[in-house]
């Protein structure tokens, strides 16, 4: 079966990373690698556009001390992409990331509006398909604090016990990155209707799925800090927005927060340790592992999971998908402790002791083979 070849300009950015990693799980997709340097190397850019069935154009500048630089940079990126397509005489489907800022009187918004106009003109002249997606405020794991969104900024500050300041306590409309990526994928495969802009061109205006006051957002994050980081309690994860916000927050928890040691209660009968206190449903399980054996090497995109070592000696490893840094934690049943697994981090556990390892697991969703949200990838890159 012929695979659909997709290239993403800005694949290393916030939205690009999530779109790229999600598409990488689809066996019907072949991802065409893109480097930012291609915009300065016409031959490389031309090779890239000629290799793609669909190009998702995400690369853009949205912050600079001089707004004119933002405008010129973004318009130039669109022009270079169009010139490369024309040079190779190819007409890939171009999916353009626009912004609700289009309607505002600022140069970033004007650059997006101008870029959309240029792609429409190219589409009309060449017959190439063009889809413009107007995107609201986005939040999710790995956003840059003080850059991508107020959620990223507040998550970082609260998780690192820094002061978070509210400048304007208005209501914000938000979309979670997983929800946005789903719309992008529907647009790529033309499974979504849009408003016709002209011949071969459509526009899709994406509405925010969640609305919350800034003060309420900050209060929720402080609650996660107080209950989850300070006492280890998982919040209720039934509400879709709060689950998304909690999974986002967990990705800003400092590495040195783990492993978290349990409180061990001992009396003449033996000992008692509380493994996990939750305000949500879930599944508890345990495993025994013989020395030298590794379990896991998989990741989740939505599930919250805890590994608790109560007997033996273990090494827990994590690596964020798309990166090479491996995080290592050593735990011992002599001082029972746990590590929680952030989403989009492949993880494993190895018995590094001489005796049997006993590990308890909690995950917020019982296992469903029809929707497992479990993707296998080795933590260590060989």
Which residues are designated catalytic?
A: 108
Q: Give which of 273, 280, 268, 282 is closest to 308, Cα–Cα.
A: 273
Q: Work out the angle at residue 190's Cα, subtended by the Cα atoms of residues 187 and 193, and round it to the nearest 5 degrees.
A: 80
Cβ contact 297:348 at 8 Å = yes
Residue whose pair of structure tokens reads 């697991």 in the numeric block: 361
What DSSP letter does each residue of 88-119 carry, written as one string? Answer: HT--PEEEEEEEGGGGSSSHHHHHHHHHHHHH
Rounded to whole angstroms, the Cα distance separating 26 from 150 reads 31
Task: Give 71's contacts (C-beta < 8 A, 6+ positions apart).
Answer: 107, 108, 110, 111, 114
Taking CA atoms, 74 is separated from 49, 92, 227, 266, in Å, by 18, 20, 43, 64
3-state secondary structure at position 133:
strand
Rounded-to-integer distance, Cα 32 and Cα 46, Å: 13
User: For 36, which DSSP code?
Assistant: G
Taking residue 334's Cβ as centre, other Cβ atoms within 10 Å add up to 11
């Amino acid at each position: 079966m012929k695979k659909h070849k997709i290239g993403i300009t800005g694949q290393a950015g916030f939205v690009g990373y999530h779109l790229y990693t999600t598409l990488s799980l689809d066996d019907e997709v072949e991802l065409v690698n893109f480097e930012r340097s291609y915009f300065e190397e016409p031959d490389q850019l031309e090779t890239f556009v000629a290799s793609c069935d669909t190009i998702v154009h995400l690369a853009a500048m949205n912050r600079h001390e001089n707004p004119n630089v933002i405008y010129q940079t973004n318009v130039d990126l669109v022009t270079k992409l169009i010139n490369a397509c024309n040079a190779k005489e190819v007409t890939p489907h171009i999916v353009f990331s626009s912004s609700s800022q289009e309607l505002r009187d600022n140069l970033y918004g004007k650059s997006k509006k101008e870029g959309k106009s240029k792609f429409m003109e190219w589409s009309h002249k060449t017959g190439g398909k063009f889809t413009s997606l107007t995107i609201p405020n986005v939040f999710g794991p790995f956003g840059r604090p003080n850059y991508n969104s107020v959620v990223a900024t507040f998550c970082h500050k609260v998780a690192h016990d820094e002061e978070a300041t509210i400048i304007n306590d208005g209501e914000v409309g938000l979309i979670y990155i997983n929800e946005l990526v789903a719309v992008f994928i529907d647009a790529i495969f033309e499974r979504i209707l849009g408003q016709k802009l002209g011949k071969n061109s459509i526009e899709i205006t994406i509405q925010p799925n969640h609305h919350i006051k800034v003060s309420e957002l900050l209060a929720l994050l402080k609650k996660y800090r107080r209950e989850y980081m300070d006492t280890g309690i998982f919040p209720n994860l039934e509400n879709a927005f709060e689950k998304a916000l909690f999974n986002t927050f967990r990705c800003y928890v400092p590495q040195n927060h783990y492993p978290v040691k349990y409180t061990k209660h001992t009396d003449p009968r033996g000992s008692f340790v509380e493994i996990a206190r939750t305000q949500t449903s879930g599944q508890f399980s345990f495993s025994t592992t013989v020395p030298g054996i590794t379990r896991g090497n998989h990741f989740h995109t939505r599930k919250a999971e805890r590994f608790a070592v109560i007997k033996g000696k273990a090494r827990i490893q994590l690596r964020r998908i798309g990166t090479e840094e491996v995080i290592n934690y050593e735990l011992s049943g002599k001082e029972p402790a746990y590590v929680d697994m952030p989403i989009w981090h492949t993880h494993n556990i190895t018995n590094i002791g001489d005796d049997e390892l006993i590990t308890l697991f909690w995950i917020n969703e019982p296992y469903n083979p029809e929707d497992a949200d479990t993707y296998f990838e080795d933590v260590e890159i060989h």
